Amino acid sequence: MPGFELFGKQERNEVNDVLDNGVLMRYGFDAFRNGHWKAKTLEQELKNTLQTKYVQLVSSGTAAVSVALASAGVGAGDEVIMPTFTFVASFEAIMMLGAIPVLVDIDDTLALDPGAVEKAITVKTKAVMVVQMCGSMGRMDALQIICKKYGLLLIEDACQAIGGTFNGKPLGSLGDLGCFSFDFVKTITCGEGGAVITNKEDYYLNADHYSDHGHDHIGHDRGAETHPFWGYNFRISELNAAVGLAQVRRLPEFIEIQKKNYAILRDALSQIPEIIFRTVPDGGEESYAFLNFYLPDLKMANKSIQALKLAGIDGCFHYYNNHWHYIRKWEHLKNLKSLFPISNEVKEGLTYLQNRTFEQSDEFISRNISCLIKLSWTEQEVRDRASKMVEVISHTLKTN
């Protein structure tokens, strides 16, 4: 991760094919295409890769979450349970629909704590959104049981976890709808792009229409298509889809590289007795896009991340004070800083953030260090990196 590290002739050939053909829009212009449909072909590839019946490509991972929720009828005043550790796009996508994000604690998987989820359910709860952060997953068995018990939608945000599996099934395919991002720093990149996947035809048709101004996509005359309901423009372009088409065909290659590099780093860091690795639920296999581990406390994590930076070891993250990924620094959400008026329902629904604390989440995020696994490293570079990380962290722990 990310896939752009290994751009090559496959990606160039697919992009040049679009430019030579001349049609950059995914819909219409049938007479000029000569049978070239990059987005449609990528959707078919993703169906096979993700073992799902339906795929709808969209413009981003954020769009994928909003489209998925809208496709299942989530909207004004509905509550969507989500984790404290994610990306800001999670609550943005929920609020775009007038729904209310209900943040709850994570556990040692770095994903939703099922116990915290069940305690947060109210009569307004419509969906639970598990975010498979940093290439791994939450306790999917327990979350599926909870959603079934209360009749809730299970939305699976696998934007950072393509290639991971749970009980042999691809992450993203376990919920009612799954969401993916193919932005520039994902394992599979389109530059910008995303996808909604589902096994339910009605959700797929809703996503297909909603992401393209409500077009029903029936027939071969775009101007004559009807609009069963209104929608918005969340389309992907043929150029973006072309890059993704080349990349998804290389996913097994990318996962193999990530797994090898991950194993070298983990084996080395296992020498340090104070390190505890992030929990992967039984039956789960990571995508190996990140290596996550816990240090004894916040002080040690802070000292270690600073020491790693001083040693020139990049790509290691301590999310406790991160403005993108963790609730502590989301002042714009807590203080409702919006360019436009927010509905009273949402205002009232978010008042809990004024006084709510998340001690359990703090406990895990404060001690966590997350290391990006690059595709472009040589084996020697990984081994040198591993050795240096062990040296730096061990020294930091000894000088506490």
| 125 residue type, one letter | T
* Two tokens, residue 107: 């556990």
- 101: Cβ–Cβ under 8 A, 6 or more apart, which residues? 80, 82, 90, 91, 94, 95, 333, 350
For residue 352, the domain's CATH number is 3.90.1150.10
pLDDT of the residue at 201? 98
Mean model confidence pLDDT for the chain: 97
- The domain of 147 spans 3-250
pLDDT digits (tens, 9 = 90+) for 22-65: 999 999 999 899 899 999 999 999 999 999 999 999 999 999 99
pLDDT digits (tens, 9 = 90+) for 57-69: 999 999 999 999 9
C-alpha to C-alpha distance for 400 and 395, rounded to whole angstroms:
9
| Distances 155 to 82, 172, 179, 196, 357 between C-alpha atoms, Å | 10, 9, 8, 10, 25
Alpha helices (runs of H) in 214-297, residue ranges in sequence order? 238-248, 251-269
Alpha helices (runs of H) in 211-316, residue ranges in sequence order? 238-248, 251-269, 298-310
- Asked if residue 45 and residue 191 are part of one domain, the reply reads yes
Q: How many CB atoms lie within 10 A of CB 317?
A: 18
What number of helices (H) and strands (E) belong to the chain?
A: 15, 14
Which of residues 203, 229, 250 is at a domain's end?
250
Contact 175, 155 (CB under 8 A): yes
- Asked if residue 92 and residue 27 are part of one domain, the reply reads yes
- Asked if residue 302 and residue 228 are part of one domain, the reply reads no
Residue 75 binned pLDDT confidence (cut-offs 50, 70, 90): very high
Residue 162 binned pLDDT confidence (cut-offs 50, 70, 90): very high
pLDDT of the residue at 388? 98
Which of residues 225, 250, 275 is at a domain's end?
250
- Asked if residue 118 and residue 150 are part of one domain, the reply reads yes
Q: How many domains does the chain have?
A: 2
- Asked if residue 258 and residue 115 are part of one domain, the reply reads no
- Asked if residue 218 and residue 118 are part of one domain, the reply reads yes
**Is pLDDT at 97 greater than 80 in this prediction?**
yes
- Asked if residue 349 and residue 338 are part of one domain, the reply reads yes
pLDDT digits (tens, 9 = 90+) for 231-265: 999 999 999 999 999 999 999 999 999 999 999 99
- Asked if residue 323 and residue 240 are part of one domain, the reply reads no
- Asked if residue 316 and residue 233 are part of one domain, the reply reads no
Vertex 10 angle, CA 237 and 253, to 5°: 105
**Is pLDDT at 130 greater than 80 in this prediction?**
yes
pLDDT digits (tens, 9 = 90+) for 180-222: 999 999 999 999 999 999 999 999 999 999 999 999 999 989 9
For residue 132, the domain's CATH number is 3.40.640.10
Which of residues 191, 215, 250 is at a domain's end?
250
- Asked if residue 284 and residue 223 are part of one domain, the reply reads no
- Asked if residue 266 and residue 238 are part of one domain, the reply reads no
- Asked if residue 287 and residue 217 are part of one domain, the reply reads no
**Is pLDDT at 400 greater than 90 in this prediction?**
no
